[in-house]
Amino acid sequence: MRDVAIIGVGLTKCGELWEQSLRDLYVEAALKAIKNAGIDHIDSMYVGCMSSGLFVGQEHLGALMADYLGQAPVAATRVESACASGGAALRMGYLDVASGASDIVLVGGVEKMTDVSGDAATYALATASDQEWEAFGGITFPGLYALMAMAHMERYKTTSRQLAAVAVKNHANGAKNPAAQFPAIITVDDVLNSVMVADPLHILDCSPISDGAAAVILCPADQAKTLCQHLPVKIVGSGMATDTIALHSRKDLTSLDAVTKAAAAAYRQASKVPSDIQVCEVHDCFTIAEIMVSEALGFFEKGKGGNAVETGATAIGGKIPINTSGGLKAKGHPVGATGVAQAVEIVEQLRGGAGARQVAKARIGMTQNMGGTGASAVVHILEAM
Amino acid sequence: MRDVAIIGVGLTKCGELWEQSLRDLYVEAALKAIKNAGIDHIDSMYVGCMSSGLFVGQEHLGALMADYLGQAPVAATRVESACASGGAALRMGYLDVASGASDIVLVGGVEKMTDVSGDAATYALATASDQEWEAFGGITFPGLYALMAMAHMERYKTTSRQLAAVAVKNHANGAKNPAAQFPAIITVDDVLNSVMVADPLHILDCSPISDGAAAVILCPADQAKTLCQHLPVKIVGSGMATDTIALHSRKDLTSLDAVTKAAAAAYRQASKVPSDIQVCEVHDCFTIAEIMVSEALGFFEKGKGGNAVETGATAIGGKIPINTSGGLKAKGHPVGATGVAQAVEIVEQLRGGAGARQVAKARIGMTQNMGGTGASAVVHILEAM
């Protein structure tokens, strides 16, 4: 396998972007990444997107985006793994370059979620669960994650204040991110006093419905220093794993086995251990998710994730800064874009270009993206070259 | 890049399979392919599917199918390129093995199209066109291909009888295929007397709405002879290309540039020319498509494809047998499955196992799969080892 580097990054703002269509968003992020890399062509491209069919009545996104980006006839493929579609697309682009089939590859993620009603968006998102056993029965994602939170609270004495601490930290980080959808500073009491969506999850425990796109440019690592205008960042580990799609089929509601296994594969490939990671973007679709993921990645012992966030271990300046971008919670969660946006943030951190959110001397970072209740998970480890 | 071989194939029947769900179909084809290969594990898997979100309210197919196949926690990713989703999934599986990331990879394609009304299916299929400029304006695929047919007839004097000859040949082949949805023998007059859908395309010029799935098992070519119970078949060329998504943006309605470019890439990689190909499965979503594709692949001069089919050049026993399976027209067109089903047919031909449809002494074959009006195209060249 050839070593692969990221040499360009691009990001749109996240939010209710009523002036921009699905294709506008992808093209904006892609053009920014191409400009950031300073390249004059691409060999192939990927589009991570969860459900453009249900959100805007458009499939065939590879061809659509290649065309609107002015890049046809390059090979272009859409990749889907629910909310991990962006991470899965990054992995496909990585394999494309690693195989030797392509040299310069664009990987973009996009979702346009606000053109439909809240009910329709909730229905579209529920297609990431087991349609026949979960969605059809009426449960949606806040309910599923509430079950996981209840189990974690019961077994490990995790508290609502600890869940709230995730949101408070991520909004504090997001307030320093110009791309964030909700850069507002909030308090633990704000979270606890916000409307209950699915006990114990308040609305401020939940990530929002967002429009947005993100993109990165990949190339062989041995060409990166010549091509790249910035410090190139190498993908030193890429892992993907799956779990039962239905939550009720899991032996343990408090574990995220696919995350643990995807991370194990990435750590093994990179010859790294959790303590090597200096900055990490994780999939905080709900506050409980960040706590469970921080345990699954090996940063904290099982059941200690709640305490870790409450005591500042995951804040900027803490033991392992998590979601410096503001995470899905504050930056926003355009689902197909999220996995790619995580890579954009880590590259900015490793380049030293994260401004007010910068983690000092960060050289090694990680992204963790997941679909559904963790039925699919993708983990990448990135290292400054 | 490592060389890659196909060592197992599996196929469901195509049709209105009301007793089988989306997941049932994928699992049936996958288990058949696993059994056919004689393997006891897989390292990763792909699911080609166009629009399960619109057809059955289910996304996240990688995780779903890995779970229902009993293969979680393997990495599993859904790939979409409209009606070329199966071909695109095959290419992703190919890159995964070629890169060295995985050794044994399952690539399956599936679509469950008959759980919705005909109108809803037509809407779902129209999401492969440019939603904002074509679908929103009310044109659907029969109309788009009718425009291409009209242009071809105008410029090259292609006739309705020549279009009909494609359907007649493919039904004759499909009558020999136990998996075919419509194995009925038909005549040119049957086609010409059938109801007009979009002038000049009659209903018997159109492929059907189908449920079905297909699967193949890939491995490194140097392990194929050890692992494989059958004659292994090497993927000697893989090409993908794109074109404008909207038909009105093309310079020439009678050309399929993405097909020509995808084929050029595959021919170059395989060091082959069109006359080397002994059997070919092409994307005959409409009869005109087969004629245009047979020209774009270099089998016949531009404008001569209609005459070629009418004079038997593409029949079994002819210069280049096309769609021995019955093609999309007679075998059926479960859109996400089609590209993989084409590979299944070519592997059967190269193994000498195609029964009454066998092309004598076939050693080199090709598959050509496309999305929309040819906005994406995937071509693979396969050779018996």
| Tens of pLDDT, residue by residue, chain A (385 residues) | 999 999 999 999 999 999 999 999 999 999 999 999 999 999 999 999 999 999 999 999 999 999 999 999 999 999 999 999 999 999 999 999 999 999 999 999 999 999 999 999 999 999 999 999 999 999 999 999 999 999 999 999 999 999 999 999 999 999 999 999 999 999 999 999 999 999 999 999 999 999 999 999 999 999 998 988 899 999 999 999 999 999 999 999 999 999 999 999 999 999 999 999 999 999 999 999 999 999 999 999 999 999 999 999 999 999 999 999 999 999 999 999 999 999 999 999 999 999 999 999 999 999 999 999 999 999 999 999 9
Q: What is the total count of domains within chain A?
A: 2
Distances (CA, A) of B346 to A184, A360, B169, B292: 59, 57, 17, 20
Question: What is the residue range of B40's domain?
Answer: 4-117+210-233
Q: Looking at residue B349, what DSSP letter applies?
A: H
Q: How confident is the model at residue B369 (pLDDT cuts 50, 70, 90)?
A: very high
Residue B178: predicted pLDDT? 97
Residue B225: predicted pLDDT? 87
Give the number of residues written for chain B.
Answer: 385
Mean pLDDT confidence for B31-50: 97
Contact (Cβ atoms closer than 8 angstroms) between residue B205 and residue B153: no
pLDDT tens for each residue of B176-187: 999 999 999 999
pLDDT tens for each residue of A163-197: 999 999 999 999 999 999 999 999 999 999 999 99
Contact (Cβ atoms closer than 8 angstroms) between residue B41 and residue A60: no
Residue A227: predicted pLDDT? 87
- Do A305 and A273 have their domain in common? yes
In which residue are the tokens 């990671």 written?
A: A277
- Do B60 and B175 have their domain in common? no
Residue B227: predicted pLDDT? 87
Its pTM stands at 0.98
Residue B315: predicted pLDDT? 98
Q: Looking at residue A374, what DSSP letter applies?
A: T
Reply yes or no on whether B280 is catalytic: no
* Helix, strand, or coil (residue B193): helix
- Do B22 and B148 have their domain in common? no
Distances (CA, A) of B197 to A96, B145, B192, B202, B216: 41, 11, 12, 5, 35
- Do A44 and A168 have their domain in common? no
* Helix, strand, or coil (residue A201): strand
Residue A178: predicted pLDDT? 97
Instruction: Report the DSSP pairing between strands A105-112 and A44-48.
Output: parallel
In a domain, B16, yes or no: yes
CA gap B273, B262 in Å, rounded = 13
- Do B227 and B368 have their domain in common? no
Interchain CB distance below 8 Å, A21 and B132: yes
Amino acid at A132: E
Residue B228: predicted pLDDT? 83
- Do B171 and B28 have their domain in common? no
Distances (CA, A) of A8 to A40, A116, A369, B72: 12, 32, 20, 33
Dmax (CA) of chain B: 56
Mean pLDDT confidence for B186-211: 98
In a domain, B49, yes or no: yes
Last residue of a domain, one of A233, A248, A282: A233
Tell me the CA end-to-end span of chain B in Å, nearest whole number: 18
Interchain CB distance below 8 Å, B372 and A60: yes
CA gap A256, A248 in Å, rounded = 13
In a domain, B123, yes or no: no
Residues in chain B with CB shorter than 8 Å from the CB of A245 are 60, 63-64, 67
CA gap A345, B209 in Å, rounded = 44
Looking at chain B, which residue has its C-alpha nearest residue A4?
A: B99
Determine phi and psi for A227, rounding to 5 degrees: -75, -35
* Number of CB atoms found within 10 A of residue B361's CB: 7
B261 touches chain A (CB under 8 A): yes
pLDDT tens for each residue of B61-115: 999 999 999 999 999 999 999 999 999 999 999 999 999 999 999 999 999 999 9
Measured over the CA atoms of residue A92, residue A290, residue A268 and residue A377, the dihedral's sign is negative
Measured over the CA atoms of residue B184, residue B185, residue B190 and residue B192, the dihedral's sign is positive
Does residue B327 register a pLDDT over 90? yes
Does residue B153 register a pLDDT over 90? yes
Instruction: Report the DSSP pairing between strands B211-220 and B105-112.
Output: antiparallel
B60 touches chain A (CB under 8 A): yes
- Do A263 and A217 have their domain in common? no
Q: How confident is the model at residue B329 (pLDDT cuts 50, 70, 90)?
A: very high
Looking at chain A, which residue has its C-alpha nearest residue B3?
A: A99
Structure tokens at A361: 């001397």
Residues in chain A with CB shorter than 8 Å from the CB of B243 are 63, 67, 72-73
Integer-rounded Cα Rg, in Å, for chain A is 19
H/E element, A258: helix A257-270
Interchain CB distance below 8 Å, A240 and B129: no
Residue B18: predicted pLDDT? 94
Which percentage of chain B shows pLDDT scores above 90? 98
The CATH number linked to B171 is 3.40.47.10
Mean pLDDT confidence for B284-294: 98
Phi/psi zone of residue A336: left (φ > 0), alpha (ψ -120 to 50 degrees), beta? Answer: alpha
- Do A33 and A172 have their domain in common? no
CA gap B203, B195 in Å, rounded = 6
CA gap B282, B338 in Å, rounded = 10
- Select from A329, A354, A339 the least CA-distant residue to A108: A339
Interchain CB distance below 8 Å, B99 and A127: no
Amino acid at A257: D
- Do B263 and B350 have their domain in common? yes
CA gap A71, A30 in Å, rounded = 11
* Helix, strand, or coil (residue B294): helix
Specify burial of residue A205 (Cβ count, 10 A radius: 0-12, 13-18, 19+): buried
- Do B263 and B335 have their domain in common? yes
- Select from A345, A333, A319 the least CA-distant residue to A371: A333
Contact (Cβ atoms closer than 8 angstroms) between residue A324 and residue A207: no
Q: How confident is the model at residue B229 (pLDDT cuts 50, 70, 90)?
A: confident
B48 touches chain A (CB under 8 A): no
- Do A26 and A169 have their domain in common? no
Mean pLDDT confidence for B355-365: 98
Residue A225: predicted pLDDT? 87
Mention every residue, 6+ apart, whose C-beta is less than 8 A from residue B383: B233, B234, B236, B270, B350, B363, B364, B365
Q: Considering only residues 134 to 173 of chain A, which have any Cβ-Cβ distance to chain B shorter than 8 Å?
A: 135
- Select from B213, B209, B211 the least CA-distant residue to B65: B213
- Do B34 and B64 have their domain in common? yes
CA gap B147, B151 in Å, rounded = 6
CA gap A122, A239 in Å, rounded = 29
